[in-house]
Amino acid sequence: MQNLTYGIASDLGVAIVTGHYSKANPFPIEGELCTQYGVSRSIVREAVKMLTAKGLLGARPRQGTWVQPEETWNLLDPDVLRWTLERKFSLPLLIEFAQIRLGIEPAAAAMAARVGDPKAKALIGAAVERMQAADRGEDDPLESDIAFHVSVLEATGNRFFLQLRQLIETALRFSIRMTNERKGVRLASVADHNKVAEAILAGDPAAAEAAMRAMMEETLMLLHETQATGRYARSA
């Protein structure tokens, strides 16, 4: 039941972010959605509640349900970010997110170096080993890169950083491919990631922050260069 509800919410969410609904084609009423998806009113209501919580829909008794303006959408919600980037690709949005990462991930690396326990640091080392394996064609380049960045967030033990795991992962699935393509490589620099890992494992917050910042700044620079060439419009 939950999977069915989420599936309907996802389908409607994609329709919303791609501009399917408008004044000329307003968001369907509850009965129309029940007929469209062949489900009960309770399932439709739950799906609508999910989208309302994500800022995509507004609803009031006797006024119905409507699509909210884009500025109210919760872009910190991984679903909303994924639907937007998958179906209505926006490089400027990805750049804005890279700017947020620049403020978050260097601080997370420093904290991981300072407070990370042996088990958490071991996971960072394991992620680098996965990237090395990917470089040899023995692991997935994208998944190993994502595993590294997520392991750094987890090593902080900070609940707010942990809440960002899915969001970072969602954005990375788009930005890693684009920045690697811009650099003309298949895999992100293992050496650069290893610098971060070594600093964290050595318990050196300053070095960990500097190494992560250098990677984030390069990512942002590559995205800006891609935007300047206009190539993203064709690839998207």
The Cβ-side half-sphere exposure at 165, using a 13 Å CA radius, reads 14
pLDDT at 234 > cutoff 60: no
Task: Specify the CATH architecture of the domain 2-72.
Answer: Orthogonal Bundle (1.10)
pLDDT band, very low/low/confident/very high, at 236 (cuts 50, 70, 90): very low
Mean pLDDT of the chain: 89
> Is it true that 2-72 and 89-235 share their CATH fold?
no
CA-CA distance, 18 to 86, in Å (whole number)? 10
Q: Where are the domains of the chain?
A: 2-72, 89-235
Q: Identity (one letter) of the amino acid at 209?
A: E
> Torsions phi, psi of 229, nearest 5?
-80, -20
Q: 0.75 exceeded by the pTM?
A: yes
| pLDDT tens, residue by residue, 47-80 | 999 999 999 999 888 788 999 998 999 988 999 9
pLDDT at 220 > cutoff 80: yes
| pLDDT tens, residue by residue, 165-217 | 888 888 888 777 777 666 665 566 899 999 999 999 999 999 999 999 999 99
pLDDT at 233 > cutoff 70: no
| pLDDT tens, residue by residue, 29-47 | 999 999 999 999 999 999 9
Element (H, E) at 219: helix 205-229
* DSSP structure class, residue 24: S
Classify domain 89-235 at the CATH class level: mainly alpha
